[in-house]
């Protein structure tokens, strides 16, 4: 009896497994797994989407992880349309295989597309796509996203996706770019709290920050492409741009960086953030007061400045970064999350108008420094 | 013929499973209007439903059997809950890359599984829940631990999301779901039924529901847009945009495992009430009727979010009235017997 039951159960399991063949099967050969997606906007306000995906014939190619930097291992296809969805549909038509967004690593949106005020619309339509991987990194390109994607090549011995992840994670660890994921940005654009912050990128030849050659230590570079700094999005448009140095300070204020190297002219030091910044808000008065306390350990690596001087320099940088944000009302530091807790309902929170209050707020930054050797 | 029966312990597990799944569905999946204060609605709902729990303990077993109308109403309520869970499951399946599967066939298959569990009686449903208990807790621990870095407790504020009227509505809806689940104790084995068992079952369900509500809200900030569709709600909870792909497996396992168990629990409760209303029915027929009613509810758009939220709101006062009537009748009968 026991055996009969086991055999019956085994038969059922086998039949269930066989059922999987009854539906449409997505073979890997039928799919074009987009690794990078670029979004541009042309003169006529059409959206252009460019996708980079591995070729099937990519020899032992970067696509299969076999260890080639052969650029022919990847195809780049572009299409345009009135709306994002229209452009994506056109891209699907001209791509020989089915565009699959489940392995997407990076989304590059051109600065022009963001400035057109269509960022939220683009991300909303993108997230509505079937099998969209919403943890993909997102970056704003100071130039054409399509061109940038064409220049983005795999490194020797790694797949393009893995190479990109390694590069971005390393830059994030150093604090020179923020952790900007598609879902975070998309939620942040529409949330009741702080504004989202997105990493910047550009081609070396397009970089507006001058000819960055050779790139500084804090700039993540991958051949012809650069990943550096950040921008804050307010009301769907770029409000503030930070270079890599300001981004490190902004990340420190957000509590997103643990260690970073700090350079000022001939002085340089290795900074370790001992604890997350202690932030206290006083919103009882007409003008909100934000008190920030930073605990840092400083290891001087070169120059004549001592640890306390570095503390003062970091404080001055933090004030400058906050003031830059305050001038536009954009607030990426997470102060809004804290302030919202003082209100009982959303109605009261919205009527408080955080962004206006933030513009006229007062700051008190205290930096506590411990010298390490 | 052995009738459908349920032990006190299984009833406790069943009510926990139903409370967790239905409150989460009503307040989070279908309740975009409650925004990030669904956890508070659930706490208030639990407090409101305490008198119902006490009433359920008071009701005499014989009393429910003699009141056919109450039994039919309760069986329809449970069949409706099963349909609502079926609908969520069908939507979740289409979300999980199986968009080509016809919902009709899918819901039918899932309800056949429920029928099988019903026919296995107390041991079937009891074991189904027991099977999920330990792995479920382990999966929940994996999910929570791996997402600790992404959680922001400040996103739970402002506490009263939109206004107090939404908070009251949410609390009553939650109380409706909790009190409906507690009804299963009325038909459980009275010899084994103790107030402690009822409270443990209810409180476990409440704690699980609260954990689910808090987890889904602590991971995503409150959204400004007016309408968040169900797919987006599910995506925000399941994928979340920040949850690593490795955690998707435990989330998916827990999601489907939990909902299938809840669906079976609701169907079983419906079948047991059908049998109480029509004593002559055997287990097969009672089970088939229960599953068929759920199938009809789920496939005729009767268990869609708009109607479900209204049913959840109405179920609390309706259950209160029915239970009060049953308690009064039970007392009269006791007095008559004593006289």
pTM for the model: 0.84
Percent residues over pLDDT 90 in chain B: 29
Query: ∠ CA A277-A283-A289 to the nearest 5 degrees?
Result: 50
Q: Number of C-alpha atoms within 13 angstroms, CB side, residue A151? A: 20
Per-window interface: A 115-174 vs B, CB < 8 A: 127-128, 130-131, 134-135
**Cβ pair B137, B253 in contact under 8 A:** no
Quick check: B245 and A135 CB within 8 A? yes
Q: Does A187 touch chain B (CB under 8 A)?
A: yes
Q: Which of A130, A184, A345 sits opposite B163 (nearest CB)?
A: A345
Give me B330's structure tokens. 């039970």
State mean pLDDT over B129-138: 85
State mean pLDDT over B185-209: 84
Q: How far is CA B8 from CA A333, A368, B60, B283, in A?
A: 52, 61, 15, 20
Q: Residue A249: name the closest of A305, A181, A183, A296 by CA.
A: A296
Q: How far is CA B311 from CA A144, A336, B62, B213, in A?
A: 53, 37, 28, 20
Q: What average pLDDT does the structure give for chain B?
A: 84
For B263-288, b/e burial (b = at least 16 CB within 10 A) is bbbbbbbbbbbbbbbeeebebeebbb
Q: What is the ipTM of this complex?
A: 0.79
DSSP H helical ranges for A56-102: 84-94
Q: Residue A314: name the closest of A256, A359, A252 by CA.
A: A252
Nearest chain B residue to A134, by CA? B241
What is the reported pLDDT for A213? 41
pLDDT tops 90 at residue B194 = no
Instruction: Determine the length of chain B.
Output: 339
Q: How many CB pairs under 8 A join A and B?
A: 84
- Choose the weakest-confidence range: A182-196, A211-225, B30-44, B263-277: A211-225
**Cβ pair A236, A117 in contact under 8 A:** yes
Distance between B103 CA and the closest CA of chain A, angstroms:
14
**Cβ pair A171, A140 in contact under 8 A:** no
pLDDT tops 80 at residue B238 = no
- Which chain B residues are closer than 8 Å to A347 by Cβ? 162-163
**Cβ pair A76, A55 in contact under 8 A:** no
What is the reported pLDDT for A64? 38
Which residues lie across from A300 on neighbouring strands? A269
What is the reported pLDDT for A251? 94
């Amino acid at each position: 009896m026991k055996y009969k039951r086991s055999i019956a159960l085994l038969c059922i399991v086998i039949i269930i497994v066989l059922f999987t063949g009854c539906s449409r099967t997505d073979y890997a050969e039928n799919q074009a797994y987009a690794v990078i997606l670029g979004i541009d906007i042309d003169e006529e306000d059409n959206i252009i989407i460019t996708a980079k995906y591995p070729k099937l014939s990519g020899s032992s190619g970067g696509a299969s992880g076999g260890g080639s930097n052969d650029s022919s291992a990847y195809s780049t296809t572009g299409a345009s349309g009135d709306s994002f969805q229209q452009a994506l549909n056109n891209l699907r038509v001209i791509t020989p295989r089915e565009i699959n967004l489940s392995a997407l690593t990076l989304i590059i949106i051109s600065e022009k597309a963001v400035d057109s005020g269509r960022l939220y619309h683009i991300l909303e339509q993108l997230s509505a796509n079937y099998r969209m991987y919403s943890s993909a990194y997102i970056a704003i390109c100071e130039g054409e996203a399509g061109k940038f994607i064409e220049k983005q090549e795999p490194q020797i011995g790694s797949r393009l996706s893995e190479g990109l992840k390694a590069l971005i994670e390393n830059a994030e660890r150093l604090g020179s770019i923020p952790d900007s994921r598609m879902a975070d940005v998309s939620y942040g654009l529409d949330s009741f709290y702080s504004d989202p912050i997105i990493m910047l990128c550009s081609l070396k030849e397009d970089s507006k920050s001058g000819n960055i050659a050779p790139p500084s230590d804090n700039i993540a570079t991958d051949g012809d492409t650069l990943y550096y700094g950040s921008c804050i999005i307010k009301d769907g448009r770029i409000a503030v741009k930070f270079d890599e140095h300001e981004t490190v300070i902004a990340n420190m204020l957000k509590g997103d960086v643990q260690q970073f190297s700090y350079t000022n002219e001939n002085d340089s030091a290795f900074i370790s953030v001992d604890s997350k910044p202690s932030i206290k808000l006083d919103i009882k008065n007409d003008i909100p007061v934000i008190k920030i306390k930073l605990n840092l350990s400083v290891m001087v690596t070169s120059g004549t400045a001592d640890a306390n001087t570095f503390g003062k320099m970091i404080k001055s940088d933090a004030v400058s970064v906050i003031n830059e944000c305050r001038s536009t009302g954009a607030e990426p530091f997470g102060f809004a999350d804290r302030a919202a807790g003082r209100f009982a309902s959303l109605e009261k929170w919205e009527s408080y108008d955080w962004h206006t209050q933030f513009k006229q707020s007062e700051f008190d930054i205290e930096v506590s420094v411990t010298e390490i050797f | 013929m052995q009738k459908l029966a349920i032990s006190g312990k299984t009833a406790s597990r069943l009510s926990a499973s139903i409370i967790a799944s239905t409150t989460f569905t009503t307040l989070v999946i279908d309740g975009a209007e409650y925004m990030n204060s669904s956890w508070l609605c659930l706490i208030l709902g639990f407090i409101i439903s305490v008198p119902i729990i006490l009433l359920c303990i008071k009701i005499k077993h014989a009393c429910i059997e003699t009141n056919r109308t109450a039994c039919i109403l309760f069986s329809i309520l449970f069949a409706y809950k099963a349909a609502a869970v079926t609908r969520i499951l069908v939507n979740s399946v289409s979300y999980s890359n199986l968009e080509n599967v016809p919902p009709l066939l899918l819901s039918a298959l899932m309800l056949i599984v429920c029928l099988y569990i019903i026919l296995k009686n107390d041991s079937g449903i009891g074991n189904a829940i027991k099977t999920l208990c330990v792995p479920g807790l382990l999966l929940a621990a994996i999910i929570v631990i791996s997402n600790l870095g992404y959680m922001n407790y400040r996103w739970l504020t402002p506490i009263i999301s939109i206004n107090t009227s939404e908070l009251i509505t949410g609390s009553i809806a939650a109380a409706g779901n909790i009190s409906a689940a507690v009804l299963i104790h009325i038909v459980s084995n009275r010899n084994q039924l103790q107030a402690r068992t009822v409270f443990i079952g209810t409180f476990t369900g409440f704690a699980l529901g609260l954990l689910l509500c808090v987890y889904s809200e602590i991971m995503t900030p409150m959204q400004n847009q007016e309408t968040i569709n169900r797919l987006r709600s599910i995506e925000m909870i399941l994928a979340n945009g920040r949850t690593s792909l490795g955690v998707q497996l435990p989330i998916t396992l827990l999601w489907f495992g939990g909902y299938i168990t809840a669906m079976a629990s609701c169907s079983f409760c419906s079948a047991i009430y059908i049998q109480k209303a029509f004593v002559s029915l055997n287990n097969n027929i009672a089970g088939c009727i229960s599953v068929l009613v759920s199938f009809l509810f789920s496939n005729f758009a009767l268990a869609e979010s708009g109607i479900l939220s209204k049913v959840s709101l109405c179920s609390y006062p309706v259950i209160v009235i029915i239970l009060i009537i049953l308690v009064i009748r039970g007392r009269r009968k006791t007095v008559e017997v004593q006289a």
